Each structure stands twice: as C-alpha cells, then as structure tokens.
Amino acid sequence: MSTHICECEAKAKAAQEEEARLYKELDKIIAKHKEVKGPLIQTLHAAQELFGWLPEQAQARIAKGLDVPLSEVHGVLSFYSFFTTVPRGKHTIRVCLGTACYVRGGKQVLEKFEHELGISVNNTTEDRQFSLEVNRCVGACGLAPVVTVGADIYRRVKVDKIPEIIKKYKGS
C-alpha cells in the first residue's frame, strides 16, 4: 500500500510541476502580447495552444496580465466557438454536418465516431486522447462527407473507415 501512496504522491508532484511550468510559459506569452494593440485574442489563442483549453486560473492571469476586465475575457471566450473552457483531447475530431456532408452520410459518420469513441459531441474521452465536435461547413462540399482530425483532412469518409482513422491517432 505504501508503494501506491508514493506513486500517487510522485504523480501529483509531477502534475504540479508541469502546471507551474505551463503558467511560467503563460506569463511569457502575456508579456510578449501585452505590447501589441488588441492583444487579448492572440494571447487567448496562444494560451489555449499551451494548455489545450483555457482554465479559469489562466483566464484570470491573462486578464490581470493584460490589464483587462475578466468579464472581457469571458465575453471573448463565449463569443468565439474556437475557444474552449473545458479540457480537450489531444486530437480533436470534427465531423462536417453542412448540407452536402449531411446528405452524403455525415450524420452516420458522426454516429459511428460517437460509438467507437464512447462519447457524444462536445465531449472528450476519459484518456483525453480525443474530443469530438461538429463543423457546419468546411467549404469542401465536393469531398463530402469531410472529417478533420487536427490539421488532417479526410474526404468522402465511409463509416467502415472510422476505426482505421481512430487507430492512426490512438496513443500518439
């Protein structure tokens, strides 16, 4: 039992050290953007890239560092759908449900991803490997249905190819 406690304490200490490192990086980002006109959105993008999401503590630190009200930070976060205030997976899968993608099987593709990952839209797998989202249109209607995983684009996606797509990113 004592070995388990030591392992847990070591993991907790490592997590605290990693969090401290991230906040030091965030301070550098804030300092870099502070001199730019209208730095809030750029700083939020950089912070989200750093953390993978925007925790409340990071939001408060950004507001203080840029000398803007926290309400302004929250306003920007709630207006732009790109920002997320919940932990996201390492790989974000986006299924297009624009008209062409929907008509060509996008809904079935989405349902298969939900089934394979064991999550619904706007959720993240327990291991934080995958988040699942919907796009309304990616502007590639001739390639429908379209799925993106990060910067990778999959065209004319068939339901039977979804396990293969997931496998490519699992554990990476």
Q: Give pLDDT tens digits for 1-15.
A: 555 567 778 777 888
d(CA 99, CA 132): 19
Alpha-carbon torsion 21, 22, 23, 28, what sign? Answer: positive
Q: Quote the tokens at residue 43.
A: 């700083």
Fold of 91-169: Glutaredoxin (3.40.30)
% pLDDT > 70, the chain: 95
- Tell me the pTM: 0.62
Q: What pLDDT does residue 63 have? A: 96
Give the chain's end-to-end CA distance (angstroms, integer). 32
Is the pLDDT at 136 greater than 90, yes or no? no
Q: What pLDDT does residue 44 have? A: 96
Domain coordinates in residue numbering, the chain: 2-79, 91-169
| CA 87 to the chain's CA centroid | 7
